A and B are shown apart, each in its own frame.
Chain A
Amino acid sequence: MNWETVIGLEVHAELSAASKIFCGCATTFGGEPNTRVCPVCAGMPGTLPKLNRAVAEYAVRVGLALNCEITRHCKFDRKNYFYPDLPKAYQVSQLYAPICREGRLTVVADGKEKSIGIREIHMEEDAGKLVHDCSGNRTFMDFNRCGVPLLEIVTHPDFQSGAEVIAYLEKLRETLLYLGVCDCKMQEGSLRVDVNLSVRRTGGEMGVRTEMKNLNSFKAIGRAIDYETKRQIEILGKGGRVYQETRRWDDENGVSYGMRSKENAQDYRYFPEPDLLPIEIDDQWLKMIKGSLPELAHEKRERYINDYKISEKEAFIITTHKNISGLFETVSELSGNPLESAHLVTGEIMRLLNQTDTLPEDLSLDGRKLAALVNLVSDGKINRNAYRETVEAVFTRDVIPEEYIAENGLMMINDDEAVIEAVKTALSENSGAVADYRAGKEKAFGFLMGQVMKRLGGSGNPDMARKALKDALK
């Protein structure tokens, strides 16, 4: 009998709301320790939380995008535990009435479509950070992160492989980015993934699961899943027992180790948070949030393919990141030429991103300049070479295209006489090639064409040059 892996995910997404979930402090990453704190997020005696409504709106946006049921009367609960990074010794979270429930996200993995069930999405506050000094003798508390709003997106145990998990996470990240609710930077911890994994004999009873933490990249997640699957199968294969525990992934060494056992699991003594009123999400509010939902990646793809007649492949590349599709839409709209714009973005721009190691999130290009270039090339004012050169100059140095073209003499030469003159010189200086061509060597035409373009300083109109060359060789 074969083994089967069963995986469920808990994803923590740090919301990009400007202020914390229960006070007015800024949520920006980093900063000098304890500079983004107030009595409320530091949990001073007598303080009370006050919900930042933007957080609930962000949560509903995600819920709608993941086809969830929205809990119209949702509440907060307290999760009680002692830890120095948690100044109130309880975390305000949602257990009994989370804001979103029972959604779905369809992903494609290994060529197969699969629908992943979302069990719930709940809002909660983040904890602070402990900073240990080098000597290891002292630990400092930094409360800057206390109260930063988090969404926890919990799936059903619907995954059977690492590939499915990665496909889901990619789609989820794409969705969160398009919704503008999270910047999804795993390295900075704004997207954190915990993997719950167990193995069982195919079709058999559910096995004991472990929870894996400290997964800092999709690659690490894939590796950790493979490792844990193998580890559990090995134990069970030898007749051993898997213990329910939290394990920490060490990506450098490619191993995980147990952190704390859930056998004597902590009792969090959840109960309804009495300091906050229930959140009432009425029809009007819900309608407003629905109305403000941005277009998601898959919706964009469909629109590009149907309305702009862009190829599926290009549509897919364009929508891999919100910034890319944003750039495409600007260029397309300003130039009125979606096809050429799509070629530009999926070709030159993607090449330059790769070449310069630029992440899509750091992309900042002036769409107006690129739109102008798209028009210049499609109107035959510049040729392809000049176009590529100028795009690169815009990308790397943010030049003004018209100025750059003028300064470098890249305007296409549409002057009949200049072209005929160039053909004449090229033929007289390359009699060998002319003879080859006449002897039936088609390749020689290409060489001669190059010679003509060279004499036009690279800005000749290729169609015109080709015609003149053909005429001259007749």
Chain B
Amino acid sequence: MFDLSATELSAAIKAKKISVAEAVESYMGRIEKTDKSLNAFITVSKEKALARAAEVQGRIDGGETLSPLAGVPIAIKDNISVKDIETTCASKTLEGYTPVFSATAVERLERAGAVIVGKLNMDEFAMGGSSETGVYGAVRNPWDNARVAGGSSGGSAAAVAGGEIPLALGSDTGGSIRQPCSFCGATGIKPTYGSVSRYGLIAYASSLDQIGPIGRGIGDCAALLSIISGTDEKDSTCVIKEPFDFGGGFPDNANGLKIGIPRNYFGDGVDESVKKSVLAAAEELEEAGATVGDFEMPLMDYMIPAYYIIACAEASSNLSRYDGLKYGYRSAKAKTLPEVYRLSRSEGFGIEVKRRIMLGSFVLSSGYYDAYYKKALQARYLIKEAYDGLFKRFDAILSPTAPTTAYKIGENVGDPMKMYMGDIYTVSVNLAGLPAVALPCGFDERGLPVGFQLVGNAFSDGILVKAARVYQNRTDFHARKPKTGGEAQ
């Protein structure tokens, strides 16, 4: 069963070869066994999942078609609200907070018959690229437990790659779906901004956040994305009219696909093994019929600063509501209202979150707004324009997802700048609101996965999915599995 893709598992359930409860229980067993080493889950909601399984089984037995993911166990990143299940964002601040409503994406998945088994570990409030900053400890890479899973959706990628769950929801603000996919050898989609409702996603940076799937292969991710995408009256920034329809089938060629490669993405600071595997992926697609050309990506020096200014500015405001008054953590030492604010927030937030709140508050403060925030918006506009120009020439831009493979836990914790530089290939995609797929394309000399991303024009998610299907049809990197538990190799 663990060899089946999510859609295959659903088909087997519909064909009565496996029951929903069996599927859920089997995966629960895997979680129980391996999560001690992976630490991918924050909450496992076994009873609720089994009750849901029975309900979904009833609907399937009653002849309801539901969806290609009916009966499939899935897990949700812990910054996405699930009604009646504690949702913590891996922060002490949200300790004990249980939402009274579910995110739109979660509602749609449940309506489609998916069974939620738990909530996944992450960087605190999705701020980080290593899933080490959360209050529940670091997520460990299934390929090497001494290494990070990437972040911030590290729990999602590790759980999928480690075989604990066939499919998961993550969120991507500056690379938080793609980079952990790259580190863990999973497949993910960062959808076009405005194609998946953000309602119920606990905001980090509202103009950049987008929910997306992480799975073993592109087929499962596409199936999930077509369920959660589409207009939502609760989110006015969700502007897509219809849900995505990626169709089925596995095209065997990429004829007519024009791929661009930013040659300046392959300079110093990029692992040789990463360069090699990513360029090999480009060749693979070229062999499948795509044309490949290279170009110089402009504005590279502006991407990281613009991203961190805008993301932190929005975060400083979004996280203001955690004031210790209404829910979550309140300092027991506080005696006055200012103390409730100051102590609850000082004790409740971790160091990285505090760093970003301070940075964001600074760039928005009077006298600095024009010098930082406004400039960052201008840079963002220019980046968007540059992409517009590129997509007149190319259908997709192919690049590494991250400059390196997974590093050791603790290795970069004390060096935020180094950590931020790891986002160099991913953040501009969010600034421009574009879609991207992240796919595994090889291993480095240590046996750690390497990934690449394909970035497309806004709402061309379908083109990217098709290209990814061609690639995964011709390769098996996505199907390779770490030894269970991932003890150092």
Q: What is the interface of chain A, defined by CB distance below 8 A to chain B? A: 39, 42-51, 78, 80, 82, 84, 87-90, 141, 267, 269-271, 274-277
Contact = CB atoms under 8 A, between A and B. Distances in A.
A11 to B, nearest CB: 25
Name the residue among A48, A51, A89 with the largest chain B CB count within 10 angstroms: A48
Interface string B92-125: 0010010111010000000000000000000000
A45 B81 contact: yes
Given A267-B365, A269-B361, A271-B373, A48 B199 contact: yes
B323 A46 contact: no
Given A46-B81, A275-B236, 17 more contacts: A39-B99, A39-B101, A44-B100, A48-B198, A48-B235, A51-B236, A80-B316, A82-B323, A82-B341, A89-B320, A141-B325, A267-B366, A269-B364, A271-B314, A274-B314, A277-B236, A277-B237
A4 to B, nearest CB: 30
Closest 6 pairs (CB-CB, A-B): A89-B320, A274-B207, A269-B364, A274-B206, A45-B202, A46-B200
B263 interface: no
Contacts of B341: 82
26 contacts: A43-B321, A44-B99, A44-B100, A45-B89, A45-B94, A45-B97, A46-B81, A46-B203, A48-B198, A48-B199, A48-B234, A48-B235, A80-B317, A84-B325, A90-B320, A141-B326, A269-B366, A269-B369, A270-B364, A271-B369, A274-B206, A274-B237, A275-B203, A276-B236, A277-B237, A277-B239
Nearest to A273: B206
B321 A88 contact: yes
B236 A48 contact: yes
Contacts of B87: 45
Contact of B317 (A39, A47, A271, A276): A271
A47 B81 CA distance: 10
A49 B233 CA distance: 10
- Which applies to chain A's interface (DSSP): helix, strand, loop or mixed? loop
Contacts of B160: none
Nearest to A45: B202
Interface in B197-242: 198-203, 205-207, 233-237, 239
A87 B236 contact: no
Interface of B: 80-81, 87, 89, 94, 97, 99-101, 103, 198-203, 205-207, 233-237, 239, 313-314, 316-317, 320-321, 323, 325-326, 337, 341, 361, 364-366, 369, 373
Contact of A46 (B199, B337, B366): B199
B202 A46 contact: yes
Contacts of A274: 205-207, 237, 314
A51 B235 CA distance: 10
Contacts of A80: 316-317, 320, 364
A332 to B, nearest CB: 45
Nearest to A266: B366
Nearest to B94: A45
Nearest to B205: A274
A89 B103 contact: no
Nearest to B199: A48
A281 to B, nearest CB: 16
B314 to A, nearest CB: 6
Nearest to A271: B364
Contacts of A270: 364, 369
B326 A47 contact: no
A264 to B, nearest CB: 12
Contact of A275 (B94, B237, B313): B237
A44 B198 CA distance: 14
Nearest to A81: B320
A271 B313 contact: yes
A87 B321 contact: yes
A43 B206 CA distance: 14
A88 B317 CA distance: 9
A266 to B, nearest CB: 10
Name the residue among A43, A88, A275 with the largest chain B CB count within 10 angstroms: A275
B316 to A, nearest CB: 7
Given A44-B99, A48-B198, A48-B236, A269 B325 contact: no
Contacts of A277: 236-237, 239
Contacts of B205: 274
A6 to B, nearest CB: 24
Contacts of A46: 80-81, 99, 103, 198-203
B321 A50 contact: no
Contacts of A267: 365-366
A464 B273 CA distance: 118
Nearest to B194: A277
Given A141-B325, A274-B314, A50 B320 contact: no
Contacts of B100: 39, 44
Contacts of B198: 46, 48
Nearest to A80: B317
Contacts of A44: 99-101
A83 to B, nearest CB: 9
A43 B203 CA distance: 12
Name the residue among B198, B199, B321, B326 with the largest chain A CB count within 10 angstroms: B321
A127 to B, nearest CB: 13
Contacts of A269: 316-317, 361, 364-366, 369
A44 B321 CA distance: 8
A259 B63 CA distance: 68
B432 to A, nearest CB: 15
B221 to A, nearest CB: 23
A374 B365 CA distance: 67
Contacts of B323: 82, 84, 89
Contacts of B365: 267, 269
A50 B235 CA distance: 7
A269 to B, nearest CB: 4
B402 to A, nearest CB: 26
B199 A47 contact: yes
Name the residue among A45, A267, A275 with the largest chain B CB count within 10 angstroms: A45
Contacts of B234: 48, 50
Contacts of A42: 326
A78 B369 CA distance: 14
A276 B236 CA distance: 6
Given A269-B316, A271-B373, A89 B321 contact: yes
B314 A45 contact: no
A50 B231 CA distance: 13
A192 B321 CA distance: 26
A84 B326 CA distance: 9
Nearest to B326: A87
A39 B99 CA distance: 9
A47 B318 CA distance: 11
B3 to A, nearest CB: 35
Contacts of A43: 321, 326
Nearest to A43: B321
B93 to A, nearest CB: 10
Nearest to B209: A274
Contacts of B200: 46-47
A39 B321 CA distance: 13
A277 B239 CA distance: 10
Nearest to B340: A84
Contacts of B201: 46
A303 to B, nearest CB: 41
Nearest to B233: A50
A279 to B, nearest CB: 10
Contacts of A47: 199-200
